[in-house]
Amino acid sequence: MDKLIRIAIDGPSGAGKSTISRRVASELGILYIDTGAIYRAVGLFMLRAGIDPADADAVAKVLPEVRVSLRHDGRGQRIFLENEDVSELIRTPEASRAASQVSAHPVVREHLLSMQRDMAKSASCVMDGRDIGTVVLPDAELKIFLTADVEDRARRRMLELQERGTPQPFEDVLADMKERDARDSNRPVAPLRRAEDAELLDTTGFALADSVNAVLRIVQDRIERMS
């Protein structure tokens, strides 16, 4: 790709942001940056340290000790705590809740903001999260807000957990998703919301391939307009 293009993809939990973003980046031959994985790693660190992820003061005290890094290999992006690959461990429901809790603390978001921006300085990339288009990359060349009906998102997450060998009843997954939606949308710092200039894409009822193709069409249209 000749021109630098940074694609910010935001949306609620279970919207398929990570999977879709990873596929889109692969199709375009550009970097994929999963910011949610960074917050999940911080949340996992707190759980392991016996610290309540919702306790802002306790989290702030140990935050300088957290060593999170993203590395890329043949399997794609991997997330590390110190030198331990925790890419699978951060995908549990417990890590998801912890990620949502630590991400609500201003000190955590400020601590990770420069790290995320540095990753997107010099290379075309797809970055997904909850505040990429509004806070992390407000000047991104393309912003997409990816969403779907909450029950549809809960079904997707339930299947994902089954495939990972950590099945959860649909009712529990749905309740957890509604709780996270409320927490992410109502937090005082960088709440989940659609940027004013973001393209809205509702993927309710879409198969993964349909969602990926829909995003690629939006990207291609933007690239043509940038030419």
Is residue 147 a part of any domain in this protein? yes
| Torsion of the alpha carbons at 131, 134, 139 and 143, rounded to the nearest 10 | 70
Cβ-based burial of 4 (10 A; exposed 0-12, middle 13-18, buried ≥19): middle
Is residue 1 a part of any domain in this protein? no
Q: How far apart are CA 58 and CA 81, in angstroms?
A: 19
pLDDT tens digits along 69-110: 888 777 777 899 999 999 999 988 899 899 989 998 999 999
Distance of CA 73 to the CA centre of its chain: 19
pLDDT tens digits along 1-12: 668 899 999 999
Q: Please tell me whether the overall predicted TM-score, pTM, comes out greater than 0.85 for this model.
A: no
Of the candidates 89, 66, 92, 69, which has an alpha carbon nearest to the alpha carbon of residue 79?
Answer: 69
Bridge partners of residue 9, in order along the sequence? 128, 144
The yes-or-no verdict on residue 155 having pLDDT over 90 is yes
What the block records as the tokens of 112 is 């990770």
Is residue 146 a part of any domain in this protein? yes
Is residue 91 a part of any domain in this protein? yes
119 is in which domain, residue-wise? 6-226
Provide the domain count of the chain.
Answer: 1
pLDDT score for 74: 74
Angle at 37 between CA 35 and CA 43, to 5 degrees: 115
Angle at 71 between CA 66 and CA 77, to 5 degrees: 110
Is residue 209 a part of any domain in this protein? yes
Contact 219, 142 (CB under 8 A): yes
CATH number of the structural domain spanning residue 149: 3.40.50.300
pLDDT score for 115: 84
What the block records as the tokens of 149 is 């009906």
